[in-house]
Amino acid sequence: MIDIKKVRADFPILNQKVNGNPLVYLDNAATTQKPQIVIDSLVDYYSKYNANIHRGVHTLSQLATDAFEQARNKIQKHFNAKHNYEIIITSGTTDSINLVATSFTQFLQKDDEIIISAMEHHSNIVPWQMLCQRTGATLKVIPISENGELIMEEYDKLLTSKTKLVFVNHVSNALGTINPIKEIIDKAHTFNAYVLIDGAQSSPHIKPDVQALDVDFYVASAHKLCGPTGVGILYGKEALLNKLPPYQGGGEMIKEVTFEHTSYADLPYKFEAGTPNIAGVIAFGVAIDYLNELGFDNIAAYENELLTYATKKLLQIEGLKIYGTSKNKTSVISFNIDNIHPYDIGTIIDKLGIEVRTGHHCAQPIMDFYKIPGTVRASFSFYNTFEEVDALYNALSKAKAMLS
C-alpha cells in the first residue's frame, strides 16, 4: 500500500505554493518530480567524488566508475535484461530511438517496410521518417479506433515479408492507452521483423520484463521515473547490438585508434561516446531503488484508483469530453470542455495552482484523428491525492464558468 503522507514528504517541491495556492502538479507524463534522496545523490556526487569514469586510476575516478556501473546493474535488474552490457546509457528516450534508427540505415533498402502506430509521440515518428528518406523504405501506420485503441486486425494486414522493423509505444502519452505489446512483438517476430517498444510513458507505472516480452529494443527516460533529466536507456538484445554500427564516434567508444583505422569497444561502450551524465545516471539508480521499495504493484493499484476517481469526477462537468477511453489505460486523462480552447483552460487553472499540460502533446496525428487542436491533459503519479483531483475539478468548474 502507498502511504501517501509519507510519500509526499519525500518530495520537497510538493510543499510549495503556485500563484498563492497549494501546488497541484498534474503534468507527470511530461516529467515526474524528484524525491529528496535523488536530489541528495546528485549533490553527493558533485561534492564528494566528482571525477570522470572508466579512464582514471585515481581514487575518485574509481569511486565514480563503481557508482556508475552499479547504477547500470540496477537498471539491468529492473528491466530484467540478461546482461548488464545490454543496457546502453543515453541522454533519453529520443536519443535511444535515434540511435537505433541511425544505426539501422545500412540494413534497410528500397521497398523494405517499417510499421509504427497512429498514437506515437513525435520522437517515435520523425526518426523513422528520416530513416525512410535515407533508405527508400516505406512507413506503414497501424490505425486507431475512436476510443483510442490500436486496431489489431489492421496491424495483421500490414505485416508482410517486407516488414523489417516495428515501433510502438507501450503507453500513449496523449491517451493513456496501454498497448498489447506482447502480441505486437510475437506477431512481428513471425515475419522476422525486429521490434522497438517506446517505454517512456509506461515505465513509471509498469515494470517491464524485457526477456519475458522477448522484445528486441526497449527505451525509457530517467526523468519519467523520478530521476534526473538528460539520462535514458536503450535495452537491446546482445546479438542485435553487436550487429549495429556505432551511433556516434569519439572517446570511450573505441578499442584502438590510428589515422588509418579505428576498432570499436565492446558493449556497452561501443554506443557510449564521450563523457556521460555521470551524476544523473547514479541518481537514476537511486530513483529505481526508491520506486522498487514502494513496489510497482502498489504504485499501479493506487494510480488506478486515482484514475478511476478522477475520470468519474471530471465527467460530472457538463460538456467535458475525454479522449482515450480504452479499458486498458493508465494515469492520463486528456479532455476538452465544450468549444473552449485548451490553452485558455490551462492558463486559468494555473492561476489556481493546478499544473496541467495543454496542446498536442507531441502527438499531432492523434489530434488530427479527433479533429481537434489539442487537449488539456491531467497526468497522475503515485504522489498525487484524491484531494488534488477535487481541486482540479473545482478549478475546471471555475474556468468553464469564466470562459463560457
Q: Which residues belong to the active site?
A: 362
Residue owning grid cell 540511435:
99
In 3D space, the residue among 395, 380, 298 whose CA is nearest the CA of residue 29 turns out to be 380
CA-to-CA distance for 317 and 168, rounded, in angstroms?
A: 33
Residue type, 6: K
CA-to-CA distance for 362 and 29, rounded, in angstroms?
A: 12
Q: Please, which contacts does 180-189 make with residues 24 or more away whose CB atoms are closer than 8 Å?
A: 180/150, 180/152, 181/213, 181/215, 182/213, 183/152, 184/150, 184/155, 185/213, 185/214, 185/215, 185/216, 186/214, 187/155, 187/156, 187/159, 188/115, 188/159, 188/163, 189/214
In 3D space, the residue among 239, 273, 241 whose CA is nearest the CA of residue 254 turns out to be 273
Kindly report the CA angle at 46 between 45 and 51, in degrees rounded to 5? 80
Contact indicator for 265, 258 with CB cutoff of 8 Å: no
Sequence-separated (6 or more) residues with CB below 8 Å from residue 121: 169, 173, 174, 198, 200, 361, 362, 363
Q: What is the SS3 assignment for 21?
A: strand
The CA–CA distances, whole Å, from 31 to 26, 108, 109, 226 equal 10, 34, 37, 8
Q: What is the DSSP letter of 314?
A: H
Contact indicator for 69, 272 with CB cutoff of 8 Å: no
CA-to-CA distance for 188 and 191, rounded, in angstroms?
A: 5
User: What angle do helix axes 386-403 and 342-350 make, rounded to 10 degrees?
Assistant: 120
Give DSSP secondary structure letters for 249-306: -SSSSEEEE-SS-EEEPPTTGGG--S---HHHHHHHHHHHHHHHHH-HHHHHHHHHHH
